[in-house]
Structures are given as structure tokens and as C-alpha cells.
């Protein structure tokens, strides 16, 4: 028996069969702002028990312990290294809100250890990682859900059903908008010493070793290529997923062209604050736009506090516009509004239904029960990666619509993956 066969056997045998009244023992990994949201949402899911918390930052762990105690009345177990979580036989599942560059390796190691995984979006930091995450979920029989919570929001499910039924005729264009105001992060000097309580080596993990810099830590890691994917991979991946969902596409586009830049600001940010991406599907097209600077657009989407975030679907007979507040359908040459459906959940951008769906699938052991199973999440992330590779290389790229790999461009192919820092290596064979 090979080591990989043994790992697969161990993972499958580790699956605890949960009774109807048993709770799923969850450990939360990554306890920044989104990780704290995980604690709040899971505390509302009746079949979930927040049994543990894990972070490389001692202060974040202390805050999370206090929050979980307040929400549930129980003190969670504390871990400083996710590998300790994976070794703990009492843990059924993990919910990961780490930076993007840890999503794949954390998910794969969890699967190998027999844990089910809820992983925040984007599923992966690059194209190779998404494929490996799918392979690990399949090999070890794990439930892996990606945090594309739109897939569990009632009005978005209804809108996608109507598109499939032809409410606006044949859909030829899906447009995603991410006009989300982002202020300059400024310039911050590197520190000679890492602040007390932070394990900087583990935070960087698969990324290159660099001196500690506050701009590369906490939320601003999104704007550096080592750890993030810009706003197209942060906020935009939600709308990218909805574009694919509304078009009913499970294949990949045949080409991508993305352009833009980091305009106006002179700061540490590496990723663009203005970006357009165009994807060709032959009989349909996806267009995506990111804008972090001041913008006056109101259009059909609600304009709230400088942010216009959502999707527009263009069909032969009309237009469907959707955002987190609801959706509207406009028909005919006069653009008559014929439908206006409002948001139904109890709070804006609610993740509790999506997390409840994950917990239910952990108990049912049915991959089909997951609303945003890893293959869905990895495919949405892939669209963001295609756009970023095209943007960084400055040219249109061809894609094999069946395999999702770049065609005839060695530079683009090299950018499907990265050079991993040992020992934090996403394996070629999971």
C-alpha cells in the first residue's frame, strides 16, 4: 500500500457517521474580520458546534475565543497551527477564512486528514490550485463548499431559474460590476522584527518570505500578488460566479482579454484598482469591470455609498438586473419593468443559509446537496485568474474550453501555478 493510498483509506475511515440529532464539530481557521463573521453565522446554524478556533495571530485567537463564548456560551479549543486541527480526531469539519494563498493547501491537507471543508472565496490563489482542490475532494470523499453564498440566497436562485426558463429570451451577454470604493493604502515601511504574537512564517506559508509589513497583513493582503488576487478575486468572484450561473455555462471560455491599471494612487498596492475583462464563449460573452476609484454610475443597479455591485444579463427580449437587494426584469423596446423581486433573508449578504447548507451536506454525505461545491467555486475563481494573467501579460489569451488551460502561450502556462516556499507546497499529486 502506497502512502497516498493509506492517506485516502485513513481519510475515508475517519468519517464519523452523524446521527440526526448530533452536531457537526467545527473548527474555524483564520479569524480576521471574515473569520469572526463565520463565528456569528455558524452560531445560528443549529446542527453546528463551534468546537475550536485557529489562527497564527495570538490576538485574533483571543478575540475569537471571547466572541464564541459570548455567542454560544461555550469556550472553544484553541490552536495556533492548522495542522494541529487536522490531527484532532474530534474535529469533523473546518471553516477556512484564511488569506487566498492558504485556501488550497489548507483544503487539501484537511481532506487528507478526513475533514470536510468550508473554504472562503476565491477557492484558490491560482489555476493549478483549483484543480488540486477538486482532485483532493474527489479522492478523499470530502464535502468541500466554497463561500459563494449567492448560491444559497433565495432571490438569486429564483432569478437564475427564470433565466433558464427564458424570461428575457436567449441570453447573449452577462456583465459583472464591481464598482467598490477602495481608499489608498499608502506606503508603510518594513519592520525589522515581527510584532509579538504573530507567526509570520506560517502566515506567509506558500508565499515567498518577506520582511513583516503591516500593509501585507490584515485586510490589505488582498492587494499583493503573493497573497491576494485584487478586487476581481475578492468581491468580483461573487459576480463572476453569477455570470457563469446565469449563462448556464459549465465549460470554460475560449479566450480572455483583460486590461486596466492601478491609477491615481502612489502606494504599496500591486493589483489594479481599475480593470476590465472580456471572455468569449462563441455564442455568448461575459464582461467584467472592477473600479475602486470614485465613480458616478447609477444606472439600473441601486447606488449605495459609492458601491454598485451586481450583474446585468442581456437577452433577446429584455434585461435582468440583480444585486444583493433583489432583481428586476425589463422587457421590450421600452424597457418596461415587469418584475421586481426583493431580498428575502433576514440580513444583507447573509452567509448563514450557505453555511447551514454545508453543515447539512456534511451530515448527508451527498456532494450533490452542496450549493457551491468545490468544482463550482474553483471554476468561478478560474475566471478571475484568467483575467489577472491576461492583465499582467498585457495580451489576449486563448483557453481550451474543455480543459481550462491556456493554449499556445508558455508564459501564461507558467502563471497557472507558482513557486511554492517549502515546506508549504501544494502537491502535484494529492
CATH number of the structural domain spanning residue 141: 3.40.50.720
- Is the pLDDT at 236 greater than 60? The verdict is yes
| 285 assigned to some structural domain | yes
Give 344's pLDDT tier (boundaries 50, 70, 90): confident
Calculate what percentage of the chain has a pLDDT beyond 90.
89
Calculate what percentage of the chain has a pLDDT beyond 70.
93
Give 246's pLDDT tier (boundaries 50, 70, 90): very high
The CATH number of whichever domain residue 401 belongs to comes to 3.30.360.10
Domain count, the chain: 2
Q: Exposure pattern of 121-142 as b/e (b: 16+ CB <10 Å)?
A: bbbbbbbbbbbbbbbbbebbeb
Distances (CA, A) of 209 to 54, 91, 227, 382, 420: 22, 31, 11, 26, 10
Residues 202 and 220 in one domain: yes
Poorest-pLDDT segment among 14-23, 93-102, 141-150, 250-259: 14-23
Grid cell for residue 94: 473546518
Q: Exposure pattern of 262-285 as b/e (b: 16+ CB <10 Å)?
A: beeeebbbebbbbbbbbbbbeebb
| 426 assigned to some structural domain | no
* Secondary-structure breakdown of the chain: helix, strand, coil percentages, each rounded to the nearest 5: 35, 20, 40
Grid cell for residue 388: 489577472
Grid cell for residue 259: 486590461
| 358 assigned to some structural domain | yes
Residues 60 and 161 in one domain: no
pLDDT (mean) for 111-131: 98
Residues 331 and 249 in one domain: yes
Residues 262 and 358 in one domain: no
- Is the pLDDT at 100 greater than 90? The verdict is yes
Poorest-pLDDT segment among 134-148, 264-278, 308-322, 339-353: 339-353
Rounded to whole angstroms, the Cα distance separating 314 from 73 reads 49
| 428 assigned to some structural domain | no
Rounded to whole angstroms, the Cα distance separating 422 from 208 reads 9
- Is the pLDDT at 295 greater than 60? The verdict is yes
Residues 236 and 385 in one domain: yes
Distances (CA, A) of 61 to 239, 240, 412: 31, 32, 39
Q: Exposure pattern of 335-373 as b/e (b: 16+ CB <10 Å)?
A: eeeebebebebeeeebbbbbbbbbbbbbbeeebebbbbb
135-151 pLDDT, tens digit per residue, is 999 999 999 999 999 99
Residues 51 and 190 in one domain: no
pLDDT (mean) for 207-231: 97
Residues 402 and 368 in one domain: no
Q: What is the largest CA-CA distance in the chain?
A: 68
Q: Do you know the residue count of the chain? A: 430
Residues 387 and 245 in one domain: yes
The CA-CA-CA angle for residues 283, 130, 367, to 5°, reads 90
CA atoms within 13 A on the CB side of 78: 15
Q: DSSP strand E in 255-405: where?
A: 255-261, 274-280, 285-291, 308-315, 318-323, 326-331, 336-342, 397-399
Residues 361 and 400 in one domain: no
Rounded to whole angstroms, the Cα distance separating 204 from 293 reads 29
Mean pLDDT of the chain: 93
The SS3 call for residue 387 is helix
Rounded to whole angstroms, the Cα distance separating 45 from 24 reads 10
| 425 assigned to some structural domain | no
| 32 assigned to some structural domain | yes
| 52 assigned to some structural domain | yes
| 109 assigned to some structural domain | yes
Rounded to whole angstroms, the Cα distance separating 376 from 326 reads 22
Strands 255-261 and 274-280: antiparallel
Full domain range(s) for residue 128: 3-151+351-373
Instruction: Read off the pTM.
Output: 0.94
Q: H or E segment at 6?
A: helix 3-13
Residues 215 and 104 in one domain: no
Residues 144 and 204 in one domain: no
Rounded to whole angstroms, the Cα distance separating 78 from 364 reads 28
Rounded to whole angstroms, the Cα distance separating 355 from 163 reads 25
**CB count, 10 Å around CB of 43?**
17
Residues 366 and 400 in one domain: no
Grid cell for residue 118: 468550508
Rounded to whole angstroms, the Cα distance separating 125 from 228 reads 7
Distances (CA, A) of 192 to 210, 226, 421: 11, 20, 21
Give 2's pLDDT tier (boundaries 50, 70, 90): very low
Residue with cell 518577506: 210
Amino acid at each position: 500500500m502506497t502512502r497516498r493510498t493509506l492517506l485516502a483509506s485513513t481519510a475515508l475511515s475517519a468519517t464519523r457517521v452523524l446521527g440526526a440529532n448530533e452536531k457537526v464539530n467545527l473548527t474555524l481557521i483564520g479569524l480576521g474580520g471574515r473569520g469572526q463573521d463565520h463565528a456569528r453565522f455558524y452560531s445560528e446554524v443549529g446542527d453546528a458546534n463551534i468546537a475550536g478556533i485557529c489562527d497564527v495571530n495570538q490576538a485574533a485567537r483571543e478575540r475569537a475565543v471571547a466572541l464564541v463564548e459570548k455567542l454560544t456560551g461555550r469556550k472553544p479549543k484553541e490552536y495556533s497551527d492548522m495542522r494541529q486541527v487536522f490531527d484532532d480526531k474530534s474535529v469533523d469539519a473546518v471553516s477556512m477564512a484564511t488569506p487566498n494563498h492558504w485556501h488550497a493547501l489548507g483544503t487539501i491537507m484537511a481532506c487528507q486528514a478526513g475533514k470536510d471543508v468550508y473554504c472562503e472565496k476565491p477557492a484558490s490563489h491560482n489555476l493549478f490550485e483549483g484543480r488540486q482542490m477538486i482532485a483532493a475532494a474527489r479522492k478523499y470523499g470530502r464535502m468541500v463548499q466554497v463561500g459563494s453564498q449567492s448560491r444559497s440566497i433565495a432571490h438569486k436562485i429564483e432569478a437564475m431559474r427564470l433565466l433558464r426558463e427564458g424570461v428575457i429570451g436567449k441570453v447573449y451577454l452577462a456583465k459583472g460590476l464591481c464598482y467598490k470604493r477602495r481608499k489608498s493604502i499608502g506606503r508603510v515601511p518594513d519592520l525589522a522584527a515581527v510584532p509579538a504574537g504573530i507567526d509570520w512564517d506560517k502566515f506567509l506559508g506558500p508565499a515567498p518570505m518577506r520582511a513583516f509589513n503591516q500593509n501585507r497583513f490584515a485586510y490589505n493582503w488582498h492587494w499583493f500578488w503573493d497573497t491576494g488576487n485584487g478586487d476581481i478575486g475578492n468581491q468580483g468572484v461573487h459576480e463572476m460566479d453569477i455570470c457563469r450561473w446565469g449563462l448556464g455555462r459549465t465549460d470554460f471560455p475560449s479566450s480572455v482579454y483583460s486590461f486596466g491599471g492601478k491609477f491615481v494612487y502612489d502606494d504599496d498596492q500591486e493589483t489594479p484598482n481599475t480593470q476590465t475583462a472580456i471572455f468569449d464563449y462563441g455564442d455568448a460573452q461575459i464582461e467584467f469591470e472592477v473600479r475602486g476609484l470614485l465613480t458616478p454610475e447609477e444606472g439600473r443597479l441601486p447606488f449605495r455609498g459609492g458601491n454598485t455591485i451586481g450583474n446585468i444579463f442581456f437577452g433577446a427580449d429584455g434585461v435582468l438586473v440583480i444585486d444583493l437587494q433583489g432583481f428586476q426584469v425589463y422587457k421590450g423596446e421600452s424597457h418596461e419593468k415587469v418584475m421586481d423581486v426583493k431580498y428575502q433573508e433576514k440580513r444583507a449578504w447573509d452567509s448563514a443559509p450557505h453555511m447551514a447548507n454545508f453543515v447539512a451536506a456534511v451530515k448527508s454525505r451527498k456532494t450533490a446537496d452542496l450549493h457551491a461545491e468545490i468544482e463550482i467555486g474553483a471554476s468561478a475563481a478560474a475566471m478571475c485568474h484568467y483575467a489577472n494573467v491576461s492583465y499582467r501579460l498585457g495580451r489576449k489569451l486563448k483557453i481550451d474550453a474543455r480543459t481550462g488551460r491556456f493554449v499556445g502561450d508558455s508564459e501564461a502556462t507558467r502563471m497557472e501555478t507558482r513557486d511554492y516556499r517549502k515546506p508549504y507546497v501544494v502537491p502535484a499529486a494529492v
